[in-house]
Homo-oligomer: A and B are copies of this chain.
Amino acid sequence: MPKGITLTPEQQAARRSEIVDIALRLIAENGFQKTSMREIADLAKMGKSSLYDFFKTKDEIAVYAMEKKFEEIIEQVHRIIDNEPLPELCLRKIMHNQLKVPHQYRTVLMWLHAESDYLEEEYRKRLKTIRYEYHNTIKTVIEGGVAKGVFRKTDSDLVVRLLINSMLSIVYTSRPSASEEKMLDETINIFLHGIMNEGGEKNEPLYPVFGA
């Protein structure tokens, strides 16, 4: 950008998302701690202090990235819910949707997950808001299923937390036991049916729905 002009809100937003892209790439490669604002600024071809015109702190880059991505995901989840009346299928689709979050986001997501209690008030609030929104959206599916009698009575908040966190076990492992999609299908099988061999001695693997 030339020096004397005034940036339109669109240009500012574009610059911000450009910075986020660069930051996410570096963070995914070297971790959050070891990624410096200088590095990000260099790659974005600006002085470090200019970077601070777009984001007040390093933490804010992570929070902003998470916020934007989750706004997007929540929108998608609402569409899924509107189009899939079967609770168990709806859950599968929601989880498969979350699996599509690009790899670059994973480190930053994990980092926020671990560090969120110790961020500044403002960031903690922003994260809480977006996370609760996602949580509550999925919760409606569980509660809808319970109301219909498809799901048994259970602690729906707990179920949602377990489901969301289980995505991390699938995506964030150094020792995957199958493709991410297969692991996800089996994860949902477990959530729906458990691992007990309750149908007697058949011991058949449960049906996969999306996996190959």
Contacts and interface: CB of A to CB of B under 8 A. Distances in A.
Interface of A: 30-34, 88, 107, 110-111, 113-115, 117-118, 128, 132, 142, 145, 149-155, 157-159, 161-162, 164-166, 168-170, 173-175, 177-178, 182-183, 186-187, 189-198, 201, 203-206
A177 B196 contact: no
A161 B113 CA distance: 17
Contact of A158 (B113, B153, B155, B187): B187
B118 A195 contact: no
A157 B169 contact: no
Nearest to A167: B165
Contacts of A110: 113-114
Most chain B CB neighbours (cut-off 10 Å) among A189, A190, A191: A190
A192 B195 contact: yes
B158 A196 contact: no
A131 to B, nearest CB: 9
A99 to B, nearest CB: 14
Contacts of A190: 154, 159, 162, 190-191, 194
A195 B173 CA distance: 25
